[in-house]
Structure 1
Amino acid sequence: MPAGGSSLFSGFRVLGLYSNHVPHALRYHKKHREFYVVTSVGQCFHTYNVNRLGIVAVSNSLSDDISCVAADRMLVFAAAGRLISAFARNKEVVMCYHGHKQEVRLLLPLGDQLISVDGGGDFIVWDVQGGDVYLRLHFDPATFDVSAMMHPSTYLNKVLLGSSQGALQLWNIKTSKLLFTFPGWSAGVTVLQQSPAVDVVGVGTATGRIVIHNIRLDETLMSFTQDWGPISSLAFRTDGPPIVASGSPQGHIAFWDLERRQLLTQHRHAHRTAVAAATFLQGEPLLITNGADNAIKVWIFDQEGGSPRLLRSRQGHSAPPSTIHHHGNDGKNILSAGQDGTLQSFSSVHERFNKNLGHGEFTAARQADWDGIVACHRGCLATTTWNYQRCTMGAHHLQPPAARRTSIATAVDITSCGNFAVIGLSCGRVDVYNLQSGQHRGCYGNEEKAHSGAVRGVATDALNQLTLTAGSDWLLKFWRFKSRKQEEQLKLHSAPASMMLHKDSGMLALALDDFTLLVVDIETRRIVRKFAGHRSNITDMTFSPDGRWLITVAMDCTIRTWDLPSGFLVDCFLVAMAPVGVSLSPTGDFLATAHVDSLGVYLWTNKSLCGPVGLRPLPADYQPVEVTLPGVVVDDSGQEVTSEDADDEYKSAEQLGAELVTLSLLPESRWKSLLHLDVIKRRNKPVAPPAAPAAAPFFLPTLPGLTPRFTSPAVTEQETKVELQFDCGPAALSVEITCLTSEGGGASSLPLAFIHMIDSMLSSGRDFDLAQAYLALFLKLHLRTVSQDSVAMAALLRLSSRLEAGWAELRASFDQSLCLLSYAKSALL
């Protein structure tokens, strides 16, 4: 078992995480001529390009959750707890700012300085490059609790502060003087926003009032009031029409006409939670919003009447997912049902293939020819059908004709043919429905009850011959699917909590209330395996495609893999948040998990598909190691956004050698034939003596010899030694290497020097092919002689270790590249 925790699975990426309650930051890259939006997702932040909302960068994680973010043209600033970090290239921390005693809640970049405010009233101005404190002020939270901050346009070294008591103050941070105090409007300030007009700012208050105020004249130009509570965000449109947008805690957005001084339009439920931030792009009719509902949205104003429409969005579950399951046979799509009432599909290939199938409301349904998904809802009797292709809720609400209204649907399954749905209820009923028509086709059991207690699980076999039901009455029952007559039943030692059938192998897994697992063979109808080890409720389970492994998750925060043929636990690791859902893809490449209090779906790579994995039975007292949940991976198609002054650095062959290896670029004939020179000589033995060549017909000086060669410019002796290996052909190299030992006429120190030369070539990473060929020929000719020299043998042993380590790194790079290539090819097919 490796120290990392799991022998089988390694974290790959998380799907469906886009935003939280922290207001986004917007930045414009002059070199790319593109806007980027930065959103926080816990301990790291994501950077998206606005034109496609494609993720282009993921930052390194901080030690605590991010409380606020800000950005200028060079850096992104993120505050986590009392620490402020500056990120370059949207990834790496290049500077940390220490000095706050409480959590930082406001950040404002201003030129070469950064302004921060914490919950204790400390106001600090930092030098961005050096990290030194330029100015420190303290405000008493009881009299002036700083709640908003902005830099008025064209006001040099000036900062406007708003307080939760309602007053505003204008400060000069260079002279550290208070210039003016605005009494406010008897309501706490929640937002301060610069308008397109100089001297005019927008002020949002806790009572829902929006004040457009001229700070130079201290004159209120106009005010509006929204009926949805405090103002959570303000944004001024800059592409022409004088419009200001205000966000509310209910997720509504109101648009106010500043010329007519009236409400222009409103967009209700733009977000499921409070609108964390809203920003108009400079000179464009586009509005960007984000919220704690895990959504980033771009709205465009191209309709009559000035109302916006949704142009593009990235959104996941606004409440944690409770059930996940792979859809289709290719393993690329994961269906996820969340506590927010939505059914979504996440693609493991690219987020542009994600789908939102809609919200589970019984009043809205669209006609569909044939729905392929059935879902039961918490606390509801009726189950709903869904259409994956249309991305909508289906036409049918499946509800038994005569059932108590207090009953609820507890279990559901679809037959292999896709024509029927089998649904179990809390009252003990098990009903069959036709999915094409939605008609009720019958129920199981006498007096229309299959169990005397709640039905905990239903399943049908691959041939529609058997129906299996498990109930809280501790019984597992076998029914004929067509006649709906009971054939046999098994008495369990505890009430089952859930069950899952692997239809290809006929193995039925049951999770019991006493935290144990049973595996039943539905052919022999006997219990064939019993597993114990979980210390809390088993929340979900899944089989491997070949039916060899059973993977279970529980509230004890463990993910366990049981080997069915051997009957042992072969893999177990611990996660920080309890998993509530698990699904292994039909191709076996990815394991997907959903966790308590997390909005994402986490993917784990099956390492057994990439190389040999030794699985051994784990002891009964095995203590699992906690594994960090995977993070977000940047799509390869996304363009990485860097600072404007950063250029691509050229890397020479010498620099690449420290990370990779480089080849000599010589023809293969110069080094590949070194080990076969004797065969080549016998094959190419001349049949006639060589003839002297004709003299050159021009005056260029030539060198004496059978081969006509022109004289080359004089070079130094050092250059000759360096380039000798490149100029010599295979035969000449063979002669030179043969003469290295004393038997060939060389000095006794030459073999050791040759070994050191090969070691130097391998350590530098250059001419990898030549080093291998030269070493192979040297060992072929002189291994017996060198083996008698202890010093040379010690050098060869060190060289052998270097060869093994270097090849291991190179092979890992090859395997990773081949795996990525095959994955990319499979995604295109």
Structure 2
Amino acid sequence: MKRAESELFIPHRSLGVVVGDVAPSIRSTFVGKRSTLSVLCPIDNFIIQYNGKKLRAIGMSDPLNDRVSAVASSSSSVFAAAGTQISVLPFCREITETLDLGVPIAQIMLVGTQLIAIDSNSGIHVIETTSENLQKSLHLEGNSESFEISAICHPSTYLNKIVLGSASGKLRILNIRTGKVIHEFQREFGAKITHLEQTTALDVLAVGLENGEVFLFNVKMDKILGAFRHDTKVTNIAFRDDGESTMVTADANGTIAIWDLEKQELLGKITGIHSNEINCLHFIPGEPIMFSSSLDNSIRLWIFDSADGMPRELIRLEGHSKPCASAKFVSQNEILTAGKDGSIRKYDVTSLTMRQKLGSVGPGKDMKSTVPSNTTTTAVVQNVAEIAFGWQREAAWNNVFCRQVNDTKITTWQTRNNTHGAFHLEHDRFKKKVDFIDASATALAVSSCGNFVFIGYSTGHIDQFNAQSGRHVHSYTSAPPKSSKKNSKNRKSKSSSFINSNGSLQNDAPAADSPITALSVDQLNKELMAVDKDGHIVFWSLATKKPVARMFKSGVQLGISAQCPVNSLVGVVSITETGKEGVVLVDTICHTVARAFETVGPKVNALTFSSDGKWLLVADNQSYIRVFDIVTSQLIDVLLFSKPCVSLSYNETGQYLATVHEGERAIYTWANKEMFAMDCVVRALPPNYVPEWDADDIGMIMIDSDDEDGDDTRSQLGKALREFKKVTIDENLISFSGLPSSRWANLPDLAMIKERNKPTEGVRKVKQAPFFLAAAATLDGFEFEMDEMEGKDQDQESHIAKRELLELESAFSKVLRSANTKQDLLAAFDILRAMNLSGIDFQIRSLNPKTLPIFFRMLLEVLKTKKNFELVQSYAVTALKTHRSIVWSTKNGDDVASPEDEELTEVLEEFYKYEKENWNELEDLFVENMAVVQWIKNALL
């Protein structure tokens, strides 16, 4: 999905899509004598690699410049067609080569070392892959009107020849080396050829047609050997090669048919597994294991081990088969999603392999008894409109509640066991009265304690249910019935108070005269806020079940809402008479409007608060997500996508933002740059600011430019802030480097840490020696036999190596020796600062008596700039601790100190003097501030 650059959020990961619309490629790689099977699935503009044994994601390619339209692979390379280019990815990671054909590519196939590419105009491109660069060896211009290529196949033992299938039902044999058509069959199959596959027999191909027919066709004899039929278009064909004469075919409805070729009869069909077109069938060579993938976003492994020849499912990897409708974080890293296919799934933001299906929306366990046992029915797929979650009672009972579109029932789920709930939540009025046949649940909320669920309906009713038992507790009405205490004590249940002896409902007045659009419960579980469509906001006391406050504004309709997780604010969408929408923040404690945001787009699709309650995020129907700062009521960021966002969710720690977009099965997660980046821009933008796509380069994801002449406001703000952070506010202030503590805090004790982390057991000796080495058996294993001369030579060589090691000079030491000016010393410090912890420790230990004074001179010059204060202290302590024998050496008698010793002493004295002066100044400020703070603490106010 295309998106624009943002200063507050950066793409993190897309979840939920396991396979795209392009057929995967099965790749076998050999490491020695072992072969490894992997599945390459193109998704959008990248390729995900799965392990063929367990279908676990093991890698992801770099993004390509366009959407991947086809993929082919060999044991050494992966070839991907994206737009008009063909890219080479040897390890399915980095793109090493790219060849632009100038025409969009529809299909590619690898024949030996030659890559066959079919473009959108039915043109044929033959590309050699053995050279260092991709080279086009043949190009045949196509004519889609006379012969539109719809399928391609390379028959076994047919050297440099391919078979082409057309949309008119004709076949053609082409020589890819000379570019000549060898033979064109006069036979017409009567429908579009959708798939060609080589059978286990030579000269025989399987031809799949759009009308559902499958023919076994002998290319050499021009003869049909057998015919089979499906109900709809045939999309893929595969053959077992482990000794069994079995053919497997797939159609556009997701049906898999298994055929016995010897008897030419149908063994059986598999229906209801794949709900969409199957685009890939593949048998692992020599094994009864089949791989299948479908456009319903699922991959499956099958094994043929039953007596009837039918397969059984081994492994399933799937996501939402239809676009996702809603998403909500249920923990720091886990996110719960609901799709239009009726399934509820849970994903882990930090892992591609952690996924779980909780179930599908359908009849609950309490509804199964009403269905006769002799009937076979399927659950009605319903679209989930809203997810309400409560974590307080996750370990006890159902804690997730889903509201469906055009339905009064609320389904229940449990995230602890990842299962469907045992009951539905539905009031009896919708079963008893015919007037409520078109009613639906329009709002949903869970109490802060997790014990109660509140449901609002299109009829204006508000019901309260017990989350543990699913029983009705109370219905909020505008005119509550008057009943005596004696009658209330004799009631058998809360819900029975609304039913007469004759079965009719009584005292069931609605809480509002218009549909309820939003419900929310405060964090103290004291009040329920109900919002209706006509502009009324009513606050109900949960203790007395009576209204405590009302808010109303004429001429305004109220829509969806979102509750802040850390304060008493609730965001509500307001719609004026002219159709203009805005968002108002209602304070549930003071019962007033605290903020109002008007420039939120034509229509609000979703809104949410950040985890700390500082930001309000509003998604509109024009593919924008606006981020507002609540304290200042300013617009601080605008996110632009290629598709509108329909659901938003922030995780509890504020690290990730999850978005669901219209028509997309994937859930996109974005990292909060304010928590990870140092140059995150948080500044006010004009209220009408919106980013735009770059008209010159539509395919690029990033639209922000760093050109000085650019008019991009966001880019200018980012550059200004980065330049501002480089400026020192006052030269007398000491500043830190900004590096994490792991880059300098443990440097003085790094040697002790490495000594402590050494393995307790040494390296074990090999029990068997190579056959060409003489060895003597010992108690521990063996020892090599060597004479004394060899031992002496090795000892001498080790001493020479140690001496040469001591005389080695690192690159950093050379930079220090060549430093003559202050700028050279500061440049040397920048080199040392860029190294990791072990590298810095090595460079400091490599200092000799000649370079040690220069090293302290470098630290002194940096200290004078009053920057990188913590790095200077850490480096100085490490150098003094490591070279203390040189620093503390004294000359006795008539010995004269060397120039290096005199220089080192002079530098250390100056270093000590400068540090003492600065510390005395800081110490006076510390003492003064501590005295003022202590006086304030002890003062009687």
Relative to the length of structure 2, the TM-score reads 0.67
Question: What is the match of residue 164 of structure 2?
Answer: 161
The question of whether the paired residues in 2 share the 8 Å contact of 1:431 and 1:444 is answered with yes
Amino acid at match of 1:240: G
Question: Is residue 146 from structure 1 mapped to residue 149 from structure 2 by the alignment?
Answer: yes
Higher relative contact order (CA 8 A, sep 6+): 1
Distance apart, 1:459 and its partner CA: 1.6
Q: 1:484 aligns with which of 526, 533, 545?
A: 545
The question of whether the paired residues in 1 share the 8 Å contact of 2:617 and 2:628 is answered with yes
Question: What is the match of residue 649 of structure 2?
Answer: 583
Question: What is the match of residue 284 of structure 2?
Answer: 281
Q: Aligned partners of 1:47 and 1:249: how far apart in 2? A: 25
Q: 1:498 aligns with which of 546, 549, 560?
A: 560
Q: Aligned partners of 1:543 and 1:148: how far apart in 2? A: 51
Question: What is the match of residue 360 of structure 1?
Answer: 361
Bigger CA drift: 494-503 or 616-625? 616-625
- After superposition, the C-alpha distances for 1:574-594 in whole angstroms (9 at most, x for unaligned) are 333322111111222221111
Task: Report how many residues are paired.
Answer: 700
Bigger CA drift: 540-549 or 235-244? 540-549
Residues 176-255 of structure 1 mapped to structure 2, 5 A cutoff: 176-182=179-185, 183-227=187-231, 229-255=232-258
Residues 758-773 of structure 1 mapped to structure 2, 5 A cutoff: 762=832, 768-769=840-841
Bigger CA drift: 294-303 or 35-44? 294-303
- After superposition, the C-alpha distances for 1:316-372 in whole angstroms (9 at most, x for unaligned) are 222222211111xx4221111112222111112323331112222237778999432
Amino acid at match of 1:501: Q
Question: What is the match of residue 380 of structure 1?
Answer: 407
Bigger CA drift: 58-67 or 229-238? 58-67
Q: Secondary structure at the match of 1:516?
A: strand
Structure 1 regions of 5+ residues with no counterpart?
631-659, 670-709, 728-732, 741-747, 788-792, 808-829
Q: Aligned partners of 2:329 and 2:283: how far apart in 1? A: 38
Q: Aligned partners of 2:674 and 2:603: how far apart in 1? A: 28
Residues 642-653 of structure 1 mapped to structure 2, 5 A cutoff: none
Amino acid at match of 2:302: W
Q: Secondary structure at the match of 1:361?
A: coil
CA gap 1:288/1:315 in 2 versus in 1, 3 angstroms: same
Q: Aligned partners of 1:11 and 1:324: how far apart in 2? A: 17
CA gap 1:264/1:481 in 2 versus in 1, 3 angstroms: same
Distance apart, 1:36 and its partner CA: 0.9
Distance apart, 1:772 and its partner CA: 5.6
Distance apart, 1:236 and its partner CA: 0.9
Q: Aligned partners of 1:85 and 1:51: how far apart in 2? A: 27
Q: Aligned partners of 2:350 and 2:660: how far apart in 1? A: 18
Distance apart, 1:473 and its partner CA: 0.8
Question: What is the match of residue 338 of structure 2?
Answer: 337
CA gap 1:162/1:720 in 2 versus in 1, 3 angstroms: same
Amino acid at match of 1:410: T
The question of whether the paired residues in 2 share the 8 Å contact of 1:160 and 1:170 is answered with yes
Question: Is residue 461 from structure 1 mapped to residue 533 from structure 2 by the alignment?
Answer: no
Q: Secondary structure at the match of 2:353?
A: helix
The question of whether the paired residues in 1 share the 8 Å contact of 2:57 and 2:353 is answered with no
Question: What is the match of residue 423 of structure 1?
Answer: 455
Question: What is the match of residue 41 of structure 1?
Answer: 43
- After superposition, the C-alpha distances for 1:47-99 in whole angstroms (9 at most, x for unaligned) are 11111212222222233222221112222222223322222221233333333
Distance apart, 1:161 and its partner CA: 1.2
The question of whether the paired residues in 1 share the 8 Å contact of 2:233 and 2:251 is answered with yes
Question: What is the match of residue 677 of structure 1?
Answer: none
Bigger CA drift: 198-207 or 571-580? 571-580
Q: 2:671 aligns with which of 605, 611, 614?
A: 605
The question of whether the paired residues in 1 share the 8 Å contact of 2:208 and 2:214 is answered with yes
CA gap 1:203/1:523 in 2 versus in 1, 3 angstroms: same
Distance apart, 1:37 and its partner CA: 1.0
The question of whether the paired residues in 1 share the 8 Å contact of 2:673 and 2:680 is answered with no
Question: What is the match of residue 13 of structure 1?
Answer: 13
Distance apart, 1:284 and its partner CA: 2.0
CA gap 1:714/1:209 in 2 versus in 1, 3 angstroms: closer
- After superposition, the C-alpha distances for 1:517-559 in whole angstroms (9 at most, x for unaligned) are 2222212212222223312322222233343333332234333
The question of whether the paired residues in 2 share the 8 Å contact of 1:213 and 1:220 is answered with yes
Q: Aligned partners of 1:781 and 1:759: how far apart in 2? A: 11
Question: What is the match of residue 705 of structure 1?
Answer: none
Q: Aligned partners of 1:584 and 1:503: how far apart in 2? A: 10
CA gap 1:363/1:263 in 2 versus in 1, 3 angstroms: farther
Question: Is residue 436 from structure 1 mapped to residue 440 from structure 2 by the alignment?
Answer: no
Amino acid at match of 1:167: K
Q: Secondary structure at the match of 2:345?
A: strand
The question of whether the paired residues in 1 share the 8 Å contact of 2:444 and 2:518 is answered with yes
Question: Is residue 595 from structure 1 mapped to residue 661 from structure 2 by the alignment?
Answer: yes
The question of whether the paired residues in 1 share the 8 Å contact of 2:364 and 2:424 is answered with no
Q: Secondary structure at the match of 1:20?
A: coil
Q: Aligned partners of 2:549 and 2:439: how far apart in 1? A: 26
Question: Is residue 116 from structure 1 mapped to residue 117 from structure 2 by the alignment?
Answer: yes
Q: Aligned partners of 1:241 and 1:104: how far apart in 2? A: 37
Distance apart, 1:244 and its partner CA: 1.2
Amino acid at match of 1:65: R
Distance apart, 1:771 and its partner CA: 5.0
Amino acid at match of 2:840: F
Q: Aligned partners of 2:163 and 2:855: how far apart in 1? A: 80
Report % sequence identity: 26
Amino acid at match of 1:495: Q
Question: What is the match of residue 541 of structure 1?
Answer: 607
Q: Aligned partners of 1:138 and 1:783: how far apart in 2? A: 68
Distance apart, 1:180 and its partner CA: 2.8
Q: Aligned partners of 2:834 and 2:402: how far apart in 1? A: 61
Question: Is residue 55 from structure 1 mapped to residue 57 from structure 2 by the alignment?
Answer: yes
Residues 337-736 of structure 1 mapped to structure 2, 5 A cutoff: 337-362=338-363, 370-403=397-430, 404-446=436-478, 447-492=508-553, 494-502=556-564, 504-513=566-575, 514-610=580-676, 616-621=682-687, 623=689, 625=691, 723-724=806-807
Distance apart, 1:131 and its partner CA: 2.8
What is the alpha-carbon root mean square deviation over aligned residues?
A: 4.1
Distance apart, 1:778 and its partner CA: 3.1
Q: Secondary structure at the match of 1:343?
A: strand
Structure 2 regions of 5+ residues with no counterpart?
369-394, 431-435, 479-507, 694-699, 703-742, 753-794, 876-941
Question: What is the match of residue 27 of structure 1?
Answer: 27
CA gap 1:756/1:81 in 2 versus in 1, 3 angstroms: closer
Bigger CA drift: 411-420 or 615-624? 615-624
CA gap 1:753/1:394 in 2 versus in 1, 3 angstroms: closer
The question of whether the paired residues in 2 share the 8 Å contact of 1:5 and 1:572 is answered with no
Q: Secondary structure at the match of 2:137?
A: strand
Q: Aligned partners of 1:722 and 1:760: how far apart in 2? A: 26
Q: Aligned partners of 2:827 and 2:327: how far apart in 1? A: 58
Distance apart, 1:478 and its partner CA: 0.5
Question: Is residue 127 from structure 1 mapped to residue 131 from structure 2 by the alignment?
Answer: no
Question: What is the match of residue 821 of structure 1?
Answer: none
Q: Secondary structure at the match of 2:71?
A: strand
Q: Secondary structure at the match of 1:778?
A: helix
CA gap 1:166/1:665 in 2 versus in 1, 3 angstroms: farther
CA gap 1:109/1:8 in 2 versus in 1, 3 angstroms: same
CA gap 1:363/1:713 in 2 versus in 1, 3 angstroms: closer
Q: Aligned partners of 1:191 and 1:515: how far apart in 2? A: 52
Question: What is the match of residue 326 of structure 2?
Answer: 323
Distance apart, 1:142 and its partner CA: 2.7
CA gap 1:414/1:596 in 2 versus in 1, 3 angstroms: same
Amino acid at match of 1:401: D
Bigger CA drift: 458-467 or 356-365? 356-365
- After superposition, the C-alpha distances for 1:736-774 in whole angstroms (9 at most, x for unaligned) are x9xx9xxxxxxx997899959957975996963465686
Q: Aligned partners of 2:622 and 2:264: how far apart in 1? A: 58
